[in-house]
Amino acid sequence: MALPGLVGFAHALADAGLGIGTDRTAAFLTAVSEVDVADPDQLYWAGRVTLCSEPDEIAGYDAVFARWFHGERGPNGHVRRSSPRYATLTPETSGADADDEDDSTVLRQIGASDTEVLRNRDMSGLDATEREQLAELFALLRPRPPTRRSLRRRPSRRGALDQRRTVRAMFRSGGETVRLARRSRSDRPRRVVLLIDVSGSMEPYSDALLRFAHAVARRTPGMVEAFTLGTRLTRVSRQLRQRDPAQALPAAANAVPDYAGGTRLGETLRIFLDRWGQRGLARSAVVVLFSDGWERGDPALLGEQVARLRRLAHAVLWVNPHAGREGYAPIQSGIAAALPHIDRLLAGHTLATLEELLGAMRDARRS
């Protein structure tokens, strides 16, 4: 097998969206030299163990492998990714309130009072300028993560005896106990899981909620997991870990294939629990579910799954943008079914309420 063919295969995989760098390609070439390349099975496995790094990549690998080595090449031998679809995240302003349209053409200076007003405006009714201003305010959010007791002990004034440090001090003084060193458990950030409903009825909020998720994820990158729920489940944690929101948000938006579609909340939640939650991702985590609770599927299934989630999680918070409106009652089929199993129901339609949510996440405990 000629080398360029193998490297080309790795490039085709990279084009198909697998995270492949030169080190992976190098490992692939080494692996190929160890096996019998005339045997398609061995070639397949040598590539799979070196070029894939998670189960989600295997289907893509299989497709490109079939195309590349079995002659089913696409145009130019490459698979092109679809064009970015960030545009769907920021809809045209025509849908905004008629009153605001005049203002949107004028660039306004914002003072403290404007900021205060904006913090309390419903995020679904903003024009483009206001959205931009709000985005800047999101950057100022300072989430303080919820904490748990760590298993690991650190030097401390009080706590259990630290044998190692005490004995080392004793050696230095010729065997006499001079001072007892102690150590105690410290606090570690607790895992936070954000589940964001991106169905049609939640569309006006999805941009802001992803921004919120990014602000939280940026603070403690390893401890925050974010998923979007629509007709299917998409994990966006990895995309949101990038520091710069200008890169993180389009990347996350690109990853979600089902914006503004329908919701089968119970069904997607079940998939989340099966694939991620039950294995430990939701265990002892603070789970925040952003949804308006309009369930097209069976509300009973949703109730069952939220109950299952609650058994795993430290606390389950439900954030409903409509809950902040006057005259709101939790009667939507989905919310009604889930209500007995959640720890708190909160509003999340303005920046101010999202700030309140941050506080609620930090202090969350089982009710």
Partner 1 sequence: MPGARVNLDTVSHSTTEPTSPAALAEALESTGYLADDGVATAAFLAMRMRRPLLCEGEPGTGKTSLASGLAEALGLSLIRLQCHEGIDAEQALYEWDYPRQLLHLRALEATADGPVDPEVAERSLYTRRFLLARPLLRALTESPCVLLVDEIDRADDEFEAFLLQLLDENAVSIPEFGEIRASTPPIVLLTSNRTREVHDALKRRCLYHWLTHPDAAREVAILRRRLPGLSETLAAQVAGAVHRLRELDLLKPPGVAESLDWATALQALGSVELDAANAELTLGAVAKYREDADRIRAAGLSSLLAG
Q: Which residues bind partner 1 (CB under 8 A)?
A: 19, 21, 23-24, 27, 30-31, 34-36, 41-42, 45-46, 48-50, 52-55, 58, 150-152, 163-164, 167, 170-172, 174-175, 188, 222, 237-238, 274, 276, 278-281, 283
Give the nearer residue to partner 1 in terms of CB position, either 172 or 243.
Answer: 172
Tell me the C-alpha to C-alpha distance, in Å, between residue 217 and each of 35, 147, 220, 318, 340. Answer: 42, 15, 6, 18, 29
Give the nearer residue to partner 1 in terms of CB position, either 58 or 117.
Answer: 58
Closest contact distance (angstroms) between CB of 222 and partner 1 is 5
Give the nearer residue to partner 1 in terms of CB position, either 27 or 135.
Answer: 27
Give the pairing type, strands 344-347 and 192-197. unpaired
Distance between CA atoms of 164 and 183, rounded to whole angstroms? 10
Give the nearer residue to partner 1 in terms of CB position, either 117 or 180.
Answer: 180
Distance between CA atoms of 309 and 117, rounded to whole angstroms? 36
Give the nearer residue to partner 1 in terms of CB position, either 46 or 351.
Answer: 46
Give the nearer residue to partner 1 in terms of CB position, either 53 or 120.
Answer: 53
Distance between CA atoms of 67 and 21, rounded to whole angstroms? 21
Closest contact distance (angstroms) between CB of 363 and partner 1 is 23
Distance between CA atoms of 218 and 224, rounded to whole angstroms? 9
- If you write DSSP's letter for every residue of 104-161 in order, what string do you get? HHSPPP--HHHHHHHHTS-GGG--HHHHHHHHHHHHT------EEEEEEEEEESSSEE
In terms of Cβ atoms closer than 10 Å to its own Cβ (0-12, 13-18, 19+), residue 54 is exposed
Give the nearer residue to partner 1 in terms of CB position, either 44 or 138.
Answer: 44
What are the two backbone dihedrals, phi and then psi, of residue 327, each rounded to the nearest 5 degrees? 80, 15
Closest contact distance (angstroms) between CB of 201 and partner 1 is 28
Q: Looking at this protein, which amino acid is placed at residue 201?
A: S
Closest contact distance (angstroms) between CB of 364 and partner 1 is 20
By the 8 A CB rule, do 129 and 107 touch? yes
Closest contact distance (angstroms) between CB of 188 and partner 1 is 8
